[in-house]
Structure 1
C-alpha cells in the first residue's frame, strides 16, 4: 500500500434525522500502535472515539454524534468539516456504484482511476450534497482470495475438508486482503474530503464479496472456504460501509438477526430503502423471508418521494432471452452466473414480479424512483402507465472503465424487445436526456436535486459531460 493508505478517516455514515438534528457516525482506521484519534467537536459537545474493531495491525475507531439542524459541521483535529444538516427543503444527493475493477485495481494510476470522484468532489464544492448513496461494488474483492492455497483456485476447485488451522490462516489472509482494498478506496486523496463531509449510505453487491456471489454453484458458496469468505466480507462490509458491528444490526437494518442487511431511512418528504440482494441469495432465490418482510413493511408517508436502491437494475431488457440463448452455446455458458444475478433471470421471475408489485404499492403513496448500478453503463428506464409511472436511473462505473460501445449498442437493441412482467405495466429502456442511445458506455455518476417539492436527476458522464435534467415527479 502507498503511504497515504496507511490510515483513513474520518468517514461519515448517516444514522438518521429527527427534530433534534442529524445523527452520524464517523469512523477512522488508524494503526493500532499510534493510539486513538482526536475527539470530534460539535457546538455542544466533545465526543471521544470508541474502538469497535481491530483488523490486523489497524484499529477501527468510531465517534457517534449529532449535529443540530442549523449546525454547519464538526471539528476533528485541526480541521473543520462542513456537513449539510438542514434536510427539510432543498436537498442534494449523489449516487455512485462500481468503484473498482476485477483485476489489478490496486495497481491502477490513482488520478486516472479516481477521475470521476474528483469531479464529484468539484460538484460538492459547487453545491454541497447532503447524502452519498453507494449502490454496490464499493470495492472489488475478487483478488483477495489469491495467494492462499485453500482459495487460490476457488470457486473452480473446492478443497473438500480443510483443517481448522488452515481455515484460520485463510481467514487472516482474507481479512488482510479486504482491509487493503477498503483502505485503498477510503484513503484515496480524491475521496477523503467527500467522505469526511458527506454522510454515506451503502448497499453491497457481489464484488464486495466475490464475483457472482450467490449465483455461483452452491457447492462452492456452501463449502468451508465459501463460508469463511462470506463471513469476512460481511464483517468488513459492516465495518467499512456502515461503521458498524454485529451489535449495531438491530438499530440499522430491516432484520434484527442480520440474516438480511437491507435498510431504510426516513427524511422529511423522502423515504430511502435498499433491499439486500446478496446475503440470502441462492441460485434460485434473490431474498428469503427476512428480506421480503423488510421490504413489505415499508409504508411511505402520503406525498413522500421514495428512493429504492437496487444493486442490480429492477427494470431492464429481456435478459431471460439472452440467458436461454447462451445456455445452448458451450463457450458462453460461463456467463450464466452474470445473467443469473439479474432480476430478469428465469430463476428469479416470480421474485421479480413480487418486487415490482411492492414498488407499485409504494407508488400509491407518492413518486417512486429506483437507483441502480452494476452494469458499468449509464441508462434509464420507466414502468408505466403514466398515472403510476416508476422511474429507474442507472449510474454505474464511478471508477470501473466502460465496456466497448458495441456492447452498449447490442444491449440497446435487446432493450427494444418489449418486456411487461406485470400485465398493464410495460417496461421501456429510454435514452438519457439529450442522447439517442439507450446505453452510454462512459464512466459516470448521478446527482439528484430537490427544489421545493420537485426532484430532478442529472448524469455526469466522463466524456459527454452533464445531461439535461430529468424531472422525476
Structure 2
C-alpha cells in the first residue's frame, strides 16, 4: 500500500550553508503527486519550488533562498508568515536533539506521548527563539522498512544470496515508499512541523536512519545485494528528507562534493559546527574512512575564532565499554548486543581510531586556544564527560538522547554509572571523567531529554530539559 499525501507537508527549513552573513536555506515540501506547491515569498520576490524526488503518490519539492544571518527575518508561504530568528552574530541559542523514534511500533504510538518533548522544545522556542536546530542522528527509525518484502523481511538474520535484478528493483521500490512513509509521518507531527518551519535544521545520520547497527553488522550482511540496496535507498532518503538535496547536488558545507562521505562543517561568527560522518564509511573495523579523516585533518589546519561544536553521533567520551564488550563475547545470550557495543568509539575494534580522534580534537583545541564541546545522542540517556586536553583546555562531551525514544530501565543507567568509576585514559596524560549533570545525583539520567546550547556575550552554557526532572541549571562550557 502506497503512502497517501492528503495535504502538503512543510515547509521544513534546512540550512545549506552560511556565507557573507547570509543563511542559505532550503525549504522542503511533500505534496501529492499531481499537486503544485506554492512559491516561497520573500521581500525581494518569490521562489518557486523545484521537484526533488517522485514516489508512487507523492512528490518531494525544494525551494532554495537566503535570509539574513545577522538579524531576525521572515518569509511567507501559502498565506502564513514564518519568523526566523536567524542572527548568528551575537547572543544565540541552539537546540540539540537526537533519537526521534523507536525501533518497533514507532508509527503506532499515541501522538501526544510520542512528541511530548517536541512540545516542550516548541515552548522553549516561543519563550526565547533558537537560531538553529541540530539533529544528532536517528532522526528516523527505519528498522521496520525491510518488513513486507520477500528479500528483506528477515533482515539481517536471513537474506537470499543471489537475488535477481527484478527482485532487487522491487525491493528498492518497496524501501523507497517505506522511507517516504516514515519521514512524512515525522514531518507531519504538529509539534515538529511548527518548529521545522521556523528554525533551520542541521542533520547528521546514525545507524537507525539506515538500519539498526549499520556498519557493525557482519560483512556478509552489509555487502550483500540486499544490504547494499538498503544502504543506497537509505542514503538517497537521507539526502532528500534530511538535507533537501540529491546525489551530485550537495550544499557547499559538505566536505566531499561526490558524497562518498557526508561529513560537513559550518563556519559562523565565532562558531564552528563540525559534523563528521560516522556511518557512510563505517565497517566492523573502522568508523571513518580516508575521506572522513581528510576532512577532520583539514580542520586542524584551519584557524578558527570562538567555539567549536563537534557533532559526534556516537558519544566520543564515556565509560570503559571495552570491558563490557569482552564480557559479552563469553556469554552466549549477550552476544546479540555485540553490534551495539561495536558501534561505539570505545569498542576494542576501534581503539586506535578512537585515540586518533581524541588526539585530533586535542590539536584542534590547542591550535585555536579554546575549549571544544562535543554533542552526541545514540544511547537514550542524558550524561556528560570531560577530557583534560592540557594547557587549561578541555573537551566537554554532552549527551542528549532521545527526544522521542523512551528511556531504558534506570538499572541500566545505574550500571553505566558504576562502570564509569573505573575511569578511562586512552590517550596518556588526558584522563576522561564522566561527570554529573547540574543538580543530578547520578551520572546517567534515564529520562527523555533535549539540550540547549546558549551563547551570552561569548560565554557558552548548556542546559538539559529532562522529561521528569525538568530543566537543569546552566553548565558553563
Distance apart, 1:301 and its partner CA: 3.5
Change (3 A) 1:250 1:196: closer
- Residues in 2 aligned to 1:302 and 1:273: alpha-carbon distance in whole angstroms: 12
Q: Is the 8 A contact 1:271 1:300 kept in 2?
A: no
Q: Could you tell me which residue of structure 1 aligns to residue 25 of structure 2? A: 24
Deviation at 1:329, TM superposition (A): 0.6
The CA distance in 1 between the partners of 2:251 and 2:5, in whole Å, is 35
For normalisation by structure 2, the TM-score amounts to 0.96
Partner of 2:448 in structure 1?
443
Deviation of 1:3 after TM superposition, in Å, equals: 7.9
Corresponding residue for 2:380? 376
Unaligned runs of 5+ in 2: none
- Distance in 1 of aligned mates of 2:99 and 2:32: 28
**Could you tell me which residue of structure 1 aligns to residue 61 of structure 2?**
61
Q: Is the 8 A contact 2:384 2:437 kept in 1?
A: yes
Indicate the residue corresponding to 2:260 in structure 1.
259
2:104 & 2:327 partners in 1: Cα distance?
A: 28
Could you tell me which residue of structure 2 aligns to residue 337 of structure 1?
339
| Cα shift at 1:396 | 0.4
Aligned runs of 1:32-431 on 2, under 5 Å? 32-35=33-36, 37-68=37-68, 69-70=70-71, 72-249=73-250, 251-298=252-299, 299-364=301-366, 365=368, 366-384=370-388, 387-431=392-436
For 2:207 and 2:60, locate their aligned partners in 1 and report how far apart those are by CA, in whole Å: 24
Give the C-alpha shift of residue 6 in structure 1: 5.3
Partner secondary structure for residue 463 of structure 2: strand
Question: Helix, strand or coil: the match of 2:144?
Answer: helix
**RMSD of aligned Cα (Å):** 1.4
Contact 1:377 1:443 in 2 (8 A): yes
User: Residues 120-174 of structure 1: CA distance to partner in whole angstroms, max 9, x if unpaired?
Assistant: 0000010000000000000000000001110011211120111111111111110
Farther-moved stretch of structure 1 (217-226 vs 292-301) = 292-301
Q: How many angstroms apart in 2 are the aligned matches of 1:271 and 1:252?
A: 11
Aligned residue for 1:234, secondary structure, equals: helix
Residue 413 of structure 1 and its aligned partner are, at CA, apart by 0.4
CA contact (8 A) 1:100 1:137 kept: yes
Q: Distance in 1 between matches of 2:150 and 2:216?
A: 23
In structure 2, distance between residues paired with 1:219 and 1:466: 45
SS in structure 2 of the partner of residue 133 of structure 1: strand
Q: Is the 8 A contact 2:272 2:304 kept in 1?
A: no
Cα offset for 1:247? 2.1
Query: What is the distance in 2 between the residues matched to 1:385 and 1:81?
Result: 43
- Residues 330-355 of structure 1 show CA distances to partners (whole Å, capped at 9, x for unaligned) of 11111110000000001000110111
Query: Aligned partners of 2:304 and 2:290: how far apart in 1?
Result: 26
Q: Do structure 1's residue 468 and structure 2's residue 473 form an aligned pair?
A: yes
CA distance in 1 between counterparts of 2:282 and 2:56 reads 30
Supply the distance in 2 between the matched residues of 1:402 and 1:354 (Cα, whole angstroms): 31
2: CA distance between counterparts of 1:208 and 1:252?
A: 21
Q: In 2, distance between residues paired with 1:250 and 1:449? A: 26
Distance in 1 between residues matched to 2:192 and 2:251, nearest whole Å: 30
CA–CA distance in structure 2, aligned partners of residues 232 and 56 of structure 1: 15
Q: Which moved more, 1:64-73 or 1:105-114?
A: 64-73
TM superposition shift of 1:469: 0.2
Kept after mapping to 2: 8 A contact 1:29/1:58: yes
Deviation at 1:250, TM superposition (A): 6.4
1:316 is paired with a residue whose SS is coil
Tell me the CA shift for residue 245 of structure 1: 0.6
Count residues in correspondence.
471
Structure 1: gaps (5+ residues):
none
Q: How far does residue 265 in structure 1 lie from its aligned partner after superposition?
A: 0.5
- Taking the aligned partners of 1:302 and 1:33, their CA distance within structure 2 comes to 47
Q: Distance in 1 between matches of 2:333 and 2:163?
A: 32
Q: Distance in 1 between matches of 2:150 and 2:7?
A: 27
Report the 3-state secondary structure (helix = DSSP H, G, I; strand = E; otherwise coil) of the residue aligned with 1:183: helix
Report the 3-state secondary structure (helix = DSSP H, G, I; strand = E; otherwise coil) of the residue aligned with 1:393.
strand
> How far has the Cα of 1:2 moved from its partner?
9.8
Q: CA–CA distance in 1 between the matches of 2:441 and 2:237?
A: 41
1:15 Cα deviation after fit: 1.7
SS state at 2:462 partner: strand
Higher mean alpha-carbon deviation, 54-63 vs 440-449, is at 54-63
Give the whole-Å Cα distance in 2 for the aligned partners of 1:76 and 1:466. 34
Q: Any conservation in 2 of the 1:7–1:187 contact (CA below 8 Å)? A: no
